[in-house]
Amino acid sequence: MATVTTRRILILGASNVTLAFPLLASACLRPRQVSTELFAAHGHGRSLCARSFVLNRGLPSIQRCGIWDILKSRPPVDESWAFVTDVGNDLIYGFEVEEILQRLNELFEQVAGLAMPLTFVRLPVERALQLTERRYRVIRQMLFPGKTIPWSTLSRRMIDLDARAAQAAAAHQAVVLTPRLNWYGIDPIHIRRSRRIAAWQEITGTANLSAPLEVRPVPLRQAFACWRLAPWRRSYGRQVSVQTQPAWQDLNGNSIWLF
C-alpha cells in the first residue's frame, strides 16, 4: 500500500481569496496520495482588526474567528503551509497602520506557533497608486460604502503599511511576494478573472510541498458548490448562523474548514 502524506494548508484573506476559493480548494485537495486539511478564513470585506459587514452579512475578524484554537488542537501532519493576503481592508475601514501591524504581527506569531511555513502577499501598491482622487472615491463607494478617507491619507498609509508588513513577514522567515501589475484591471484591489489562475499559481507555487499545488480551471457547478460551504460563524442582521466544521470532508481524509 502506498504511503499517504498528511498535509495542512491555511489560507487567510478577503475578497481575492473568496473569488478564487474554488480554484484553491481544488488545487489543495487534488494531489493523489496526499490527505489534506484545508483551513481558510476569508470573505468579501474581511478584516484583521474588527467584525466586518458586507450588505447584511457579518463575519468576525480573522484574529477572533475561532480558527486558531481549532488549528492548535489538530494532530501533527507531515507538511504544512500558510498563505496570507488581502491585508489592506482595515485601512479603508479607518484603522491606523500601527493597529493593523499589531494584529498582523500577532497573526504571524500564531502561524509560527503552529510551525507552518508562510507566504505573505503584499498590497497591490503599484496599481493602487495609479488611481486618481476621483476614481478612488467612485471605487470606494462601490466596494466599501460609508465614510470616505481622503485619498492622500489612504495612499500614504498604504505605502507605510505595505513596507512595514513586508518587513514583519520577512522577520518571520516568510516568503514575501509582490503582486504583479498585470494581475489587476480597472479594479485596483481584486485580481481580474482572466489572470486569477496565473496569479494564484504563482502565489501557491511558493510553497515547498512534496506534491506542488496546481491551480486549474474548475467547472462552474463545482465552483458554486464550494462557494456555498458555510463558515463556522456568520450573521445576517440579528440572526447568527453557526456551522459545524469541517464544512466538507471525504472518505480519503480530505477536509475543508471555514472560519
pLDDT digits (tens, 9 = 90+) for 191-247: 999 999 999 999 999 999 999 999 999 999 999 999 999 999 999 988 999 999 999
Indicate the residue type of 159. I
Q: Quick check: 90 and 161 in contact, CB under 8 A?
A: no
Which pLDDT belongs to residue 131? Answer: 82
Residue 54 scores a pLDDT above 60: yes
Residue 3 scores a pLDDT above 90: no
Question: Is residue 137 classed exposed, middle or buried when 0-12, 13-18 and 19+ CB atoms within 10 A define those classes?
Answer: middle
Q: Of residues 74 and 238, which shows the higher confidence score? A: 74
Residue 1 scores a pLDDT above 60: no
Q: Of residues 246 and 141, which shows the higher confidence score? A: 246
- 259: which residues sit within 8 A by CB, 6+ positions away? 39, 40, 41, 65, 66, 67, 70, 231, 232, 233, 245
Rounded average pLDDT over 74-99: 96
Which pLDDT belongs to residue 146? Answer: 66
Which pLDDT belongs to residue 138? Answer: 76
Strand-pair category, 248-249 with 52-54: unpaired
Rounded average pLDDT over 149-168: 94
Q: Which domains does the chain have, with CATH numbers?
A: 5-258 (3.40.50.1110)
Which pLDDT belongs to residue 143? Answer: 65
d(CA 191, CA 212): 22
Quote the percentage of the chain above a pLDDT of 70. 97
Least confident interval from 43-47, 120-124, 135-139, 184-188: 135-139
Rounded average pLDDT over 43-70: 94
Quote the percentage of the chain above a pLDDT of 90. 83
Residue 2 scores a pLDDT above 90: no
Q: How confident is the model at residue 125 (pLDDT cuts 50, 70, 90)?
A: very high
d(CA 183, CA 187): 10
Residue 20 scores a pLDDT above 60: yes
Residue 181 DSSP label = G
Q: How confident is the model at residue 147 (pLDDT cuts 50, 70, 90)?
A: low
